[in-house]
């Protein structure tokens, strides 16, 4: 009986909010698609270009890298309109995650522009990521526990909730950032995660979080035609960091019963795995975990003879398969 009531509630809530969310998702796509060429011009004007080095970077010409600005503004406008339409106090209650996403995202957007234009030291980037995460935490309800497929539940007492969420957000930001190594790769992997969170949120009755995830997904879709092989521009740190933080925050907003479901991390399976392997590899070689190298999963596929598009398809397909299996196991 409880499951039936929950199902009816989910359907009614989705029916109420989904129509306006679909309209705003279309708006998000259009804004992103139209703004992306303008970010390329801005990149050339400011010198925010990714220059080939003949070693680690595989592209052949100077490429604009402020493309993430387009889908940041598309998402910012559309999500703000959704909150306005719903009459949500975004600083309180369920809408707090929207303030977390917009405020923390704005900080990472600004720091990403600085890094893409002038270059920031790894420690400087980490400090700015931490600042964005701390600002986001002000608006977020902290999870009371962490669970994994309902099999293990670990309580988060006192400051443990803050520490967990801080680490979670910084890890996800860098996971998406590290995956931005091939044309369309970070975009494709982020789309898998965002669409999975959309389904996950709807199934758990967290329709607002699900709709925000859909709006972000369509913003990325508006950018993707310019980012596919051979890419005319990159999302840069401004885009990858914003997506990473957004995915971490939406994952919290789509969970239930005060527990953070750790299985949502599997929606970003390839970026999370690649980040773990990269950090371990670099530490074992006595280097900074933020140092660049050619040991990422996409580099290994290229070294084994995979073409650039085939490597992207392989990694996105694996991540999508893991996400589908995760949804099949964890949906109520």
Structural domain boundaries in the chain: 2-330
Q: How confident is the model at residue 12 (pLDDT cuts 50, 70, 90)?
A: low
pLDDT in tens, 100-136: 999 999 999 999 999 999 988 888 999 999 999 999 9
Higher per-residue pLDDT: 205 or 191: 191
Higher per-residue pLDDT: 315 or 230: 315
Answer yes or no: are the C-beta atoms of 189 and 316 closer than 8 Å.
yes
- Residue 266: its pLDDT value, please? 93
Q: Is the pLDDT of residue 202 over 80?
A: yes
Q: What is the mean pLDDT of the chain?
A: 87
Q: What span, in angstroms and rounded, lies between the C-alpha atoms of 46 and 66?
A: 10
- Residue 90: its pLDDT value, please? 53
pLDDT in tens, 274-313: 999 988 888 888 787 777 778 889 888 988 989 989 999 9
- Tokens, residue 122: 């790894």
Nearest CA to 260 out of 156, 172, 185 is that of 156
- Tokens, residue 77: 């406008």
Q: What is the mean pLDDT of residues 218-238?
A: 94
- Residue 5: its pLDDT value, please? 53
């Amino acid at each position: 009986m409880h499951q039936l009531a929950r199902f009816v509630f989910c359907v009614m809530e989705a029916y109420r909010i989904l129509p306006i969310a679909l309209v705003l998702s279309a708006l998000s796509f259009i804004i992103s698609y139209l703004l992306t060429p303008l970010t390329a011009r801005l990149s050339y004007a400011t010198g925010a270009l990714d220059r080939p080095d003949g070693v680690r970077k595989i592209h052949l010409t100077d490429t604009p890298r402020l493309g993430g600005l387009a889908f940041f503004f598309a998402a910012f406008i559309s999500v703000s309109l959704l909150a306005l339409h719903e009459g949500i106090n975004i600083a309180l209650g369920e809408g707090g995650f929207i303030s977390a996403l917009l405020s923390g995202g704005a900080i990472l957007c600004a720091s990403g522009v600085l890094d893409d234009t002038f270059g920031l030291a790894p420690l400087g980037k980490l400090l700015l990521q931490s600042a964005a995460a701390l600002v986001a935490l002000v608006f977020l309800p902290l999870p009371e526990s962490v669970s994994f497929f309902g099999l293990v539940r670990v309580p988060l007492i006192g400051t443990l909730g803050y520490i967990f969420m801080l680490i979670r957000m910084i890890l996800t930001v860098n996971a998406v950032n590290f995956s931005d190594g091939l044309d369309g790769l970070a975009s494709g992997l982020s789309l898998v995660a965002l669409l999975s969170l959309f389904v996950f949120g709807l199934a758990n009755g967290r329709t607002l979080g699900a709709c925000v995830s859909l709006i972000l997904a369509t913003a990325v879709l508006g950018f993707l035609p310019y980012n596919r092989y051979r890419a005319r521009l990159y999302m840069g740190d401004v885009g990858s960091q914003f997506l990473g933080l957004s995915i971490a925050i939406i994952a919290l907003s789509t969970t239930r019963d005060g527990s953070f479901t750790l299985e949502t991390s599997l929606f970003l399976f390839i970026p999370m795995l690649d980040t773990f392997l990269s950090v371990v590899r670099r530490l074992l070689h006595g280097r900074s975990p933020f140092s660049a190298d050619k040991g990422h999963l996409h580099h290994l596929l290229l070294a084994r003879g995979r073409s650039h598009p085939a490597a992207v398809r392989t990694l996105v397909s694996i991540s999508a398969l893991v996400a589908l299996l995760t949804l099949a196991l964890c949906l109520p």
